[in-house]
Chain A
Amino acid sequence: MSDLLLDIKNLTVSFVTDDGVIQAVNDLSFSVGRGETVALVGESGAGKSVSAMSVPRLVPMPPARIDKGQIFFKGKDLLTQDVKDMRKVRGREIGVIFQDPGTALSPLHRIGWQMMEAILAHRTLNDDEARKLAESWLSRVKIPDPAQRMNAYPFQLSGGMQQRVMIAMALINEPELIIADEPTTALDVTLQAQIFDIIREMKGKDSAMLLITHDMGVVYDICDRVLVMYAAELVEEGPTETVFENPAHPYTMGLLQSIPTLGKGRSKRLDSIKGQVPSPFNLPHGCRFHDRCPRAFDRCAKEKPGFVDISENHRAACFLLGDRGTRP
């Protein structure tokens, strides 16, 4: 348990709906070390957000249900903590940056009040000290006139400013783990660059970050390690550069090839992955990617492939890797 900050073991989460039970996360295991930045990538519905939001237990139950697994955070299993203990973890030890600041901030309260609430929930400071701290964080995330902005309601701020307020709120108690769920998807690229600049600067060396994104450029830019999810399962994980240069799972390869890259000039066609993401009600047997995989063979439709270690910290679940990680 030494350097592992977060260690998820065999997490399985399903949602109970009127139309049946959907598996959102299946048998997911991964860990995040202290100070590490890890990306969780995949297309819509792959289970990225549910996996990450299960950590601070922010997935609403019901309809969600944790079927199996453990989530060790600093050595203790968060899934066995009671509600009161979880409140001490959330916002203090684990900070969350949500995708849409417009809906994550309370529309009825001034942002200063919301930030002070975040501070006072966890620390014994008086109002003045909390106010000063909140103000100083607003200026750290480069919000002009922080003292004045403390009195603003979220709707009076632009999307970029709201997102900076959210970042300040998530980081204000200097959490050891930051979970960022597509923090810049709603923003323009120049703002995205500003936001990641701020996150990088604010994060500090000791805090780890789990970043959910579908932007491979962002992953390459700021993450140490990358986890690739497909249809509720992890299919590949490894150090960022290794995965980009030497992807092992056909899905990861397809994903990387289907991204148009800046500066390559006008090219003919993209090597897209055929077909579409399977419906959660009707997941394929065997390897869940087999019906879209250009290299699938008989076994893929019958059995589920296990993980194969390819190199240090790099593993993928695919029969093509053989049993010892060498490609046929």
Chain B
Amino acid sequence: MTETRPNAEHGNGEAQPEPSFPLVEIQDLKTWYPIRRGVLARTVGQVKAVDGVSLAVKRGETLGLVGESGCGKTTLGRTLMGLEQANEGRILFDGQNILAMKPAEKKDIRRRMQMIFQDPLTSLNPRMLVRDIVTEGMRALGMIRDSEAEDTAASLLAEVGMNRESLTRYPHEFSGGQCQRISIARAVSMRPDFMVLDEAVSALDVSVQAQVLNLFMDLQDKYGLTYLFISHNLSVVSHIADHVAVMYLGKIVEYGTVADVIGHPVHPYTQALISAVPVPGRRTQRIILKGETPSAARPPLGCAFHPRCPEAADVCRTRAPRLEISSHRLFACHMRNHDR
């Protein structure tokens, strides 16, 4: 891995040869939260929310990040956006390590990375008009003049399928699906290259969820956007993503194309996770996992999944498996090694 790569100017620049390296590359990223106790608030332990994750998101693609509550998928997304402080590791955005940058240098990177949150209503300022919400970023960066705000906002709203009348209304006057569209208009206004979509459709009813998923796909086609799509819903991820990473207790346990990971999962956890999803038209034998996800403050020794794994052996209790490539597949499991 080279230290830094030549900056590929601005992402939305025209006719530039597409660089061959991924848009986002995460290298051995660790985000730990200290556990503090007592009057002196001494650190007595660490919650290893993200514990040594390496991933790459290719340009124009969607990487799905799946896992159950508490596995660290949201922390990973927030660390990428700079909303959480990483302890270790590197995040290369277009070849540059953003964790080593000074705040002033990050200004343009910030613009190029946007995020959509789960709860559409709480991620919009209730006291701002929709017009101001969607153009606030552009005005702050001097991308438009105040006099242009009205028209710019209207065209942004049109982009996400909303009409001009919405401009002078407040977020509470809209349904969840519409609020999510407003959030999307706000993110798109910055002309980003990369978007973190954190459970962006989870709070929506199925018919609205389908509309918003379609919108994400349309915007991706139109602007060549790259997505990190974080969700606990495997069906949604398998629909929108090109590659999938499965996370368990702060670590990636399996990575591959959607067809591989969803169609032919290798890791016992992925297998259980996929078999647990009820699918209309399919009645299969479930793999019922015992117990629940352990606390990330006290992860089990060895492979973090071993207490729930139906196939755990002695080696799993003592030594943590590494993410290894075996016949073009990437997974972390002692029991699935290539020599088996």
Interface residues of A (CB under 8 A from B): 43-44, 158, 160-161, 188-194, 197, 214-221, 244, 254-274, 276-277
Contacts and interface: CB of A to CB of B under 8 A. Distances in A.
Taking each of A160, A192, A216, A218, which has the highest tally of chain B beta carbons within 10 Å of its own beta carbon?
A: A216
A220 B210 contact: no
A269 B217 contact: yes
20 contacts: A43-B205, A188-B69, A188-B232, A190-B289, A193-B289, A197-B288, A214-B205, A214-B206, A221-B278, A244-B280, A255-B206, A260-B235, A260-B240, A263-B263, A264-B239, A266-B240, A268-B217, A270-B214, A271-B210, A273-B210
A154 B241 CA distance: 38
B292 interface: yes
A194 B282 CA distance: 18
B286 A217 contact: no
B72 interface: no
A272 B207 contact: yes
Contacts of A221: 278, 283
Contacts of B279: 217, 220, 261-263
Contacts of B273: 189-190
Contact of B238 (A215, A263, A268, A274): A263
Contact of A269 (B69, B214, B281): B214
A273 B68 contact: no
Interface in B258-293: 258-259, 262-263, 272-283, 286, 288-289, 292-293
B71 to A, nearest CB: 9
B239 A258 contact: no
B258 to A, nearest CB: 6
Contact of B277 (A217, A254, A255): A217
Nearest to A213: B278
Contacts of B282: 220
Contacts of A257: 210
A212 B297 CA distance: 36
Contacts of A194: 288-289
Given A43-B207, A216-B280, A254-B207, A193 B286 contact: yes
Contact of A44 (B205, B217, B280): B205
B103 to A, nearest CB: 37
Given A43-B206, A269-B214, A276-B178, 4 more contacts: A194-B289, A217-B280, A254-B207, A272-B213
A143 to B, nearest CB: 11
B207 A258 contact: yes
A158 B205 contact: no
Nearest to A46: B205
Nearest to B283: A221
B236 interface: yes
Contacts of A160: 292
Interface of B: 68-69, 175, 177-178, 205-211, 213-214, 217, 232, 234-236, 238-242, 258-259, 262-263, 272-283, 286, 288-289, 292-293
B278 A215 contact: yes
Contacts of B277: 189, 217, 262
B274 A277 contact: no
Given A194-B289, A267-B239, A259 B280 contact: yes
A256 B242 CA distance: 23
A185 to B, nearest CB: 11
Tell me the interface secondary structure of chain B in the complex: helix
Given A194-B288, A220-B283, A259 B235 contact: yes
Contacts of A254: 207
B232 A189 contact: yes
Contacts of A197: 286, 288
A260 B280 contact: no
Contacts of B240: 260, 266
Nearest to B242: A266
Contacts of A215: 278
Nearest to A188: B68
A268 B289 CA distance: 33
A270 B276 contact: no
A290 to B, nearest CB: 15
B238 A262 contact: yes
Nearest to A269: B214
A190 B208 contact: no
A220 B178 CA distance: 30
B281 A244 contact: yes
A218 to B, nearest CB: 5
Nearest to B234: A262
A261 B213 CA distance: 13
- Minimum-distance CB pairs A-B, first 8: A217-B278, A272-B210, A260-B239, A258-B210, A193-B276, A188-B68, A270-B210, A43-B205
Q: Taking each of A158, A188, A265, A271, which has the highest tally of chain B beta carbons within 10 Å of its own beta carbon? A: A188
Contacts of A263: 238, 262-263, 279
A268 B213 CA distance: 10
Nearest to B236: A260
A265 B258 contact: yes
A266 B238 CA distance: 6
Nearest to B262: A263
Nearest to B70: A188
A189 B68 contact: yes
B272 A261 contact: no
A244 B278 CA distance: 14
Contacts of A274: 211
A183 to B, nearest CB: 13
Contacts of A259: 206, 210, 235, 280
Contacts of B283: 220-221
Q: Give the residue among A191, A265, A266, A273 with the most B Cβ atoms within 10 A.
A: A266
Contacts of A158: 292
